[in-house]
Amino acid sequence: MIIRKTPAEIELMNRANEIVHLVHDEMRAMLAPGVSTLDLDRRAEEVVRDHGGIPAFLGYNGFPATLCTSINDVIVHGIPSAEQKLEEGDIIGIDCGVFFKGYCGDSAVTLGVGEISEEARHLLDVTEASLDRAIEAVRPGSHVSDIGHAVQTWVEAHGLTIVRDFVGHGIGSAMHEDPQIPNFGEPGRREKLKPGMVLAIEPMVNVGSAGVKVDADGWTARTADGSLSAHFEYSVAVTERGSRVLGTVPERLSATA
């Protein structure tokens, strides 16, 4: 069942996502060769708590950190570590979830450390733009599957591959609610979107094949072929007239709603 949120609940979720985006800004400023992913995580936790938030990932099914830090061939769920230091040319996915007054925000970005390869730049640009295409598909009356269709069409037209093993999700007082939101599929299927729904939309895109392998730590999910992978995510509310990316920019008015 998809739980629709009241305007007051959406304001709390907006605040939760603002805190997540503050974390992203702080991480962006810290990225440099030699910085460890544990350094990033410690600072992220401080930023979250300083703003009255609670790290949502910390302790989730035993996950040990505030951030997921996913470098190069890691798709998602990388665990911050003191031994893992950033290197020039790396790309790093930084995913963060925050509870604020009982409501969750969830957003991810993938960033380059210093100069990155053309291949990596293409991957980041296409993946970020696919999230934008997905958000354009969000309005009352469109369908859950229109989101994944928009992502898939964009990504495949640019020669890259959709990860199918992980999906986006509804979000609210729980981090993961209905519906599941795959990043692929036919348009016009599944539930119709209604105002008050909030969706965490999160394309995960590989340069190579779609295969995934998980490390012995039980979390770190990598591309099976070792190719680069990127991940971007926003929490997006369906509004009466279109959509609103929570924690970032003003409501977008849909041309057709």
**Residues 6 or more apart in contact with residue 23 via CB below 8 angstroms:** 44, 47, 48, 67, 94, 96, 98
**Residues 6 or more apart in contact with residue 159 via CB below 8 angstroms:** none
Residue pair 145/186 in contact (Cβ under 8 Å)? The answer is yes
Here's the x/- map for Mg ion, 129-168, by CB under 5 A: it reads as: ----------------------------------------
Q: Tell me the window of 83-91, 180-188, 229-237, 243-251 that interacts with Mg ion (CB under 5 A).
A: 229-237
Q: Which of residues 198-227 bind Mg ion (CB under 5 A)?
A: 200
For residue 107, the minimal CB distance to Mg ion (Å) is 6
51 exposed, middle or buried (CB, 10 Å; 0-12, 13-18, 19+)? middle
Q: Tell me the window of 11-19, 83-91, 94-102, 139-147 that interacts with Mg ion (CB under 5 A).
A: 94-102
For residue 150, the minimal CB distance to Mg ion (Å) is 17
Q: Tell me the window of 12-20, 116-124, 155-163, 232-240 that interacts with Mg ion (CB under 5 A).
A: 232-240
Which residue's CB is nearer to Mg ion, number 45 or number 106? 106
Task: Count how many residues are written for the chain.
Answer: 257
For residue 208, the minimal CB distance to Mg ion (Å) is 23
List C-alpha distances in Å: 1 to 141, 158, 191, 224: 17, 35, 10, 34
Pick from 41, 45, 95, 146 the residue near Mg ion by CB under 5 A: 95
For residue 97, the minimal CB distance to Mg ion (Å) is 6
Lookup: tokens for 224? 């099976």
Pick from 108, 160, 162, 245 the residue near Mg ion by CB under 5 A: 108
Which residue's CB is nearer to Mg ion, number 106 or number 254? 106
Residue pair 124/230 in contact (Cβ under 8 Å)? The answer is yes
Rounded to whole angstroms, the Cα distance separating 233 from 223 reads: 19
Q: Tell me the window of 45-53, 78-86, 141-149, 228-236 that interacts with Mg ion (CB under 5 A).
A: 228-236
Here's the x/- map for Mg ion, 52-91, by CB under 5 A: it reads as: ----------------------------------------
Which residue's CB is nearer to Mg ion, number 153 or number 180? 180
**118 C-beta neighbours (distance < 10 Å), count:** 7
For residue 12, the minimal CB distance to Mg ion (Å) is 17
* Residue 106 in the binding site for Mg ion (CB under 5 A): yes
DSSP letter at 38 equals H
Rounded to whole angstroms, the Cα distance separating 5 from 198 reads: 7
Verify cis geometry, omega within 30 degrees of 0, for the bond prior to 179: yes
- Which residues are near Mg ion by CB under 5 A? 95, 106, 108, 200, 233
